């Protein structure tokens, strides 16, 4: 399958100005590619920078060096130098991200939160709502909760709302940060099925998975971020 994302010589360090301007190097020289139809697991022990790397791929974090090119609208766009406007376009149409946190305006109903990314793409409201209902049903969110804000839900339910929102759009690239953490076996199986379906339609997926079973079930390869830690090869 064709390449969808290409990170080259990427480095990241944090400078904490409020704490004596200490600089914390995270990694350097990272080369990473992601192609359609594959699901790559980002691996490395806790604190090794998996989530940091994923946030950089989504342009949520800046890069200290290197480039991250994303295939967007038939062209390569370097998101480390792209304008905020272009990055928002990439996020709207090309790259989805399922984070571990649900950040929404209080009082907006769950159904609308799930449907929103599809509505933003210009899909008819009712079509988007139907798809949102399907996903919420598959992820076992009881119908009586759909008109409520997910902010009142349990952690596992919020996680599933996040997943529904992330999977409602057929993004060519998907980033999944621990999508199955805090889910029971049945719901985990549903998420694995969603990932398989996304792979099947040719999506390029990178994920962080906390358990081996999930990783073994859906991943076509893995990428260890530890080897790029600053000082790892000294």
Partner 1 sequence: MTQMSNPLLRVDNLTMMYGDRVGCKDVSFELRPGEVLGIVGESGSGKSTLLRSISAQQEPTKGTVQYNTRIDGVCDVYQMSEAQRRLLMRTDWAFVHQNPRDGLRMNVSAGANIGERLMAIGDRHYGNIRSNADAWLGKVEIASERLDDLPSTFSGGMQQRLQIARNLVTSPRLVFMDEPTGGLDVSVQARLLDLLRGLVHDLNLAVIIVTHDLAVARLLSHRLMVMQQGKVIEHGLTDQVLDDPQHPYTQLLVSSILQN
Q: Which is nearer to partner 1, 87 or 194 (CB)?
A: 87
Q: Which is nearer to partner 1, 65 or 89 (CB)?
A: 89
Q: Which is nearer to partner 1, 59 or 163 (CB)?
A: 59
Smallest distance from partner 1 to CB 140, Å: 27
Q: Which two tokens stand for residue 76?
A: 């390569």
Distances 60 to 47, 208, 220 between C-alpha atoms, Å: 18, 16, 26
Smallest distance from partner 1 to CB 61, Å: 4
Q: Which is nearer to partner 1, 47 or 106 (CB)?
A: 106
Smallest distance from partner 1 to CB 102, Å: 12
Query: Which residues, other chains included, contact 190 with Cβ-Cβ below 8 Å and sequence gap of 6+?
Result: 138, 139, 140
Smallest distance from partner 1 to CB 108, Å: 6
Q: Which two tokens stand for residue 81?
A: 């130098």
Angle in degrees, CA 168, 72, 224, rounded to 5: 80
Q: Which is nearer to partner 1, 104 or 189 (CB)?
A: 104
Smallest distance from partner 1 to CB 88, Å: 6
Give kind and range of the element (H or E) at residue 162.
Answer: helix 155-167
Which parts of this chain interact with partner 1 (CB under 8 A)? 14-18, 21, 55, 59-62, 84-89, 103, 105-108, 120
- The answer to whether 191 and 210 are in contact (CB under 8 A) is no
Angstrom distance (rounded) from CA 135 to CA 150: 15
């Amino acid at each position: 399958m064709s390449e969808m994302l290409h990170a080259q010589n990427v480095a990241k360090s944090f400078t904490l100005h409020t704490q004596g301007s200490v600089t914390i190097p995270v990694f350097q020289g990272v080369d990473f590619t992601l192609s359609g139809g594959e699901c790559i697991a980002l691996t490395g022990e806790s604190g090794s920078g998996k989530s940091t790397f994923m946030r950089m791929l989504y342009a949520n974090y800046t890069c200290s060096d290197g480039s991250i090119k994303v295939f967007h609208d038939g062209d390569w766009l370097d998101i480390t130098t792209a304008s905020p406007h272009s990055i928002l376009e990439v996020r709207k149409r090309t790259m989805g991200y399922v984070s571990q946190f649900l950040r929404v305006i209080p009082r907006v109903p769950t159904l609308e939160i799930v449907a929103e990314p599809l509505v933003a793409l210009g899909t008819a409201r009712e079509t988007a709502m139907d798809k949102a209902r399907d996903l919420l049903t598959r992820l076992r969110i009881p119908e009586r909760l759909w008109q409520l804000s997910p902010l009142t839900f349990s952690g596992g339910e919020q996680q599933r709302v996040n997943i529904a929102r992330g999977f409602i759009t057929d993004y060519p690239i998907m980033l999944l940060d621990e999508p199955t953490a805090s889910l029971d076996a049945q719901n985990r199986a549903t998420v694995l099925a969603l990932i398989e379906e996304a792979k099947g339609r040719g999506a390029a997926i990178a994920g962080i998975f906390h358990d081996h079973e999930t990783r073994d079930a859906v991943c076509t390869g893995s990428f260890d971020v530890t080897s790029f830690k600053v000082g790892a090869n000294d």
